[in-house]
Structure 1
């Protein structure tokens, strides 16, 4: 089967393309740059821009299924480019899929399209969405992008939405010159013995390979117009960082600062750190850990047959991958 993947050179894209080829598909990998890490056969690269409708129509010609992964992840409160990519980009790909006769579209959104700040500690597919200027632009734009998709579904497009939680694990080579994904980069630092302390709190973290599997399950079994949260396991940051360090025989973090302290200093610390070009201490960066909702993955499990692997396995295999790919460093 001929399938197309937008954002194919990215973190999720690299893993999804590999899985699709293993499943016997002919993959059209759509991105602005060609990856060095796609399989040697079964993949054809197409340069494409999701903000250019004509290029999307050309790229999707003849594809039966399209997986839309393109997104700009940012911790900024406002960012016009991120807003356009995460909203207009979804609409353009959906319209192109409808026009070219694509049988099914799978949109990879995010758990952040749900309001994790006001969910009462429990988050599922019926939870409140990310609406309001006080919510970071990434969260708002991911929900807005889903709304753009629903408009095209109303015109006749068969599409389904997946919402992964915190994605980590191998294979991660960075994207277009960028460093590893945020959580992978922090776990790498811990594996190097460079993280003496962390903060308390945790989140639901999911293996990128399970996300790729969940996307293909959604293409096969998902109901049109429905959302599916692709969860992993709820993990405390301290335990994850300690494990990453143990894999390499390094000393992991010794201290975990209470989140309550971070919450109190956040209004003062955020603008100060921003002046130095850092977004580590920000509401967007800390919001998920502070709220720490319990994310319910029952719908994907029951309707798609989705089942994530143990988180400890992912941490160990991530560190092993970083060593094997010479990305761990000293």
Structure 2
């Protein structure tokens, strides 16, 4: 029996699909009242649970051989620090403790590349970088660093656990959709008239799902594995959207020096109106920061591979189009 927390999320439902194809017996843990659309048509058992409620975890993990822990809060809004602490940090600790208590054979915890302290520009980011919350400024990233340390602490007490660290996840079956997916939709629809400089290491969500399974099968206890794809500039991403949808490219480009100020104004607007935050000061910093990321450890030890992101973008847009979400100007 395999249990997946956060099973309805973007990465979660892609992992579930990959596991279903392998004919694993699956139990998907979801929040009460959560939409089950991402799991529709999949042969899985669904149970309700909350990472903040350890008793619900005992029930969900009963009889489980492997637990994939993906449930977390991804927030670009300021002021959500307590929720990030409750769900991402204490929730991860609860999951790890529940795995140890119920006799789960292996835990695969999905952390983030942002849980690692970013080295100076030009220095390769790999698993040797420390998870030190005191040297990480972004609230979400700090929470994932803390959570990683909590899981490692329980591993030190006897839990067989492994940690995966994806980069910028993008791809199909993006039901909510994610901030990156929504940005593709908005650019295609002409809702974002400007572009910003920079770029990042993006990875196909399906490749991350396959990587998680490889980690479960071959990963070494207590180790971290970065699952990355390839660096791509914002301009190149928009060009791919334009090529696929015939939407014209935004005419104006915001200089890097002004991008953070503009992002701050956008965040303030979203806080007032309730609109979804797609970019903030932290994400602008990420686009301008060190993206020299290596997944050589996962590739050499596990046989991990990743596909070209240009194909991923087209697959994602095709999936949005099939659902009738892709509106072009």
Residue 268 of structure 1: how far off its partner (Å)? 7.5
SS in 1 for 2:16: helix
Show the counterpart of 2:195. 198
Give the TM-score of the pair, scaled to structure 2: 0.91
Determine if the alignment matches structure 1 residue 17 to structure 2 residue 40.
no
Which stretch of structure 1 is more off in the superposition, 72-81 or 116-125?
116-125
What are the superposed Cα offsets for residues 226-281 of structure 1, whole Å, 9 maximum, x if unpaired? Answer: 10111011000111012112211221223433313325x47985886576467556
Aligned position for 2:134: 132
Structure 2 residue 317 is matched with structure 1 residue 319: yes
Residues 122, 290 of structure 2: 8 Å contact kept = no
Moved more, 194-203 or 318-327: 194-203
SS in 2 for 1:37: helix
Aligned-pair RMSD on alpha carbons?
Answer: 2.2
* Distance (whole Å) between structure 1 residues aligned to residue 187 and residue 266 of structure 2: 24
Do residues 69 (structure 1) and 67 (structure 2) align? Answer: no
Within a 5 Å distance, the mapping from 1:1-330 to structure 2 comes to: 2-32=1-31, 33-38=34-39, 40-78=41-79, 79-116=81-118, 118=120, 121-132=123-134, 135-174=137-176, 180-263=177-260, 265=261, 269=265, 273=269, 276=272, 282-329=280-327
> Are the aligned partners of 2:131 and 2:149 in contact in 1 as well (CA < 8 Å)?
no
Task: Identify if the C-alpha distance between structure 1 residues 326 and 312 changes in structure 2 by more than 3 Å, giving closer, same or farther.
Answer: same
3-state DSSP of counterpart to 1:115: coil
Report the count of equivalent residues: 323
**TM-score relative to the length of structure 1:** 0.91
- Structure 2: unaligned runs, 5 residues or longer: none
- Match of 2:91, SS state, is helix
Give 1:151 deviation, angstroms. Answer: 1.5
